[in-house]
């Protein structure tokens, strides 16, 4: 079929389209994009052997539920420690040197709960053994208690048994999955009172932070009287706060005597 346009007319028309921004030839005949088709095109169905299998979403076990099952199965502290060591869902254990379970004398009337191990604790596998731990020992010695004192012992553990990388704050999911173990730990140790050292311990056991306002005010956690106190690491940075810590120790001493 011969074109009705001569060369010069066709070239002028092409140049005009190029000037308007056209840069691609789509087809020989114009297409009305606004025209509604009389019938929607039907897509061919694939053969049965070509149909993709339905995707079924898979979800792993709930770490909190798994922790609760392991914790409840522990009949004593040794079994609880073994259960924590076998718990596979907390990634902190992959970067830690040691599981930091506890120190002091189990069955003590006072159970001290810190936040998480630091570098020294990770190396030795015991809680509160660095500079903050030395201050903690001095604080309790001032009211006649000690982790090795058989007459008036204390028992020490942490919310998290493994050191977070670079001593960062514990993450909420890490705390949540380890809480069943801590609850069981408290039940098996069966202290008379709990001492919650620092913000993260209070957040985990009492559900709130604000240690400078909470300190010295008795509360309850897992059915035990709980006393929030300033963390020894904070006292090392803020020595002027030691007066508040001393007042809290006297409150603890009065509670035990009462």
Supply the pLDDT for residue 253: 98
Nearest to 159 by CA among 193, 123, 206, 119: 206
**231: Cβ contacts below 8 Å, ≥ 6 apart:** 114, 115, 132, 197, 198, 199, 211
Q: pTM score, two decimals?
A: 0.77
Both structure tokens of 55? 């995707």
> SS3 string of the chain?
CCCCCCHHHHHHHHHHHHHHCCCCCCCCCCCCCCCCCCCCCCCCCCCHHHCCCCCCCCCCCCHHHHHHHHHHCCCCHHHHHHHHHHCCCCCHHHHCCCCCCCEECCCCCEEEEECCCCHHHHHHCCCCCCHHHHHHHHHHHCCCCECCCCCCEEEEEECCCCCCHHHCCCCHHHHHHHHHHHHHHHHHHCCCEEEEECHHHHHHHHCCCCHHHHCCCCEEECCEEEEEECCHHHHHHCHHHHHHHHHHHHHHHHHHHC
Determine the longest span between alpha carbons in the chain, in angstroms.
Answer: 114
The reported pLDDT for the residue numbered 1 is: 47
- Name residues of the chain where pLDDT drops below 50: 1, 55-57
Q: What is the pLDDT of residue 41?
A: 58
| pLDDT (0 to 100) of residue 12 | 72
Is residue 148 a contact partner of residue 140, using CB atoms and an 8 Å limit? no
Nearest to 5 by CA among 21, 22, 16: 16
Domain locations in the chain?
Answer: 63-257
pLDDT of residue 116: 97
Fold of 63-257: Uracil-DNA Glycosylase, subunit E (3.40.470)
């Amino acid at each position: 079929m011969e074109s009705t346009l001569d060369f010069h007319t066709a070239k002028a028309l092409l140049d005009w389209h190029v000037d308007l921004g056209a840069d691609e030839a789509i087809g020989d005949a114009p297409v009305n994009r606004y025209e509604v088709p009389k019938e929607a095109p039907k897509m061919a169905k694939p053969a049965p052997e070509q149909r993709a299998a339905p995707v079924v979403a898979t979800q792993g076990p709930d770490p909190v539920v798994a922790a609760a099952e392991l914790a409840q199965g522990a009949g004593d502290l040794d079994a609880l420690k073994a259960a924590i060591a076998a718990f596979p869902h907390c990634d902190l254990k992959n970067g830690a040197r040691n599981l930091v379970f506890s120190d002091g004398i189990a069955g003590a009337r006072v159970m001290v709960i810190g936040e998480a191990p630091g570098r020294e604790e990770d190396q030795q596998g015991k809680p509160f053994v660095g500079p903050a731990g030395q201050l903690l020992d001095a604080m309790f010695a001032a009211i006649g208690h000690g982790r090795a004192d058989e007459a008036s012992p204390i028992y020490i553990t942490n919310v998290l048994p493994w050191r977070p990388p670079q001593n960062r704050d514990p993450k909420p999911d890490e705390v949540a999955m380890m809480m069943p173990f801590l609850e069981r730990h408290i039940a098996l140790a069966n202290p008379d009172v709990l001492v919650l050292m620092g913000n993260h311990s209070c957040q985990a056991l009492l559900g709130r932070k604000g240690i400078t306002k909470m300190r010295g005010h008795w509360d309850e956690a897992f059915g035990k009287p709980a006393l929030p106190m300033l963390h020894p690491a904070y006292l090392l940075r803020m020595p002027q706060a030691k007066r508040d810590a001393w007042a809290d120790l006297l409150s603890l001493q009065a509670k035990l005597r009462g």
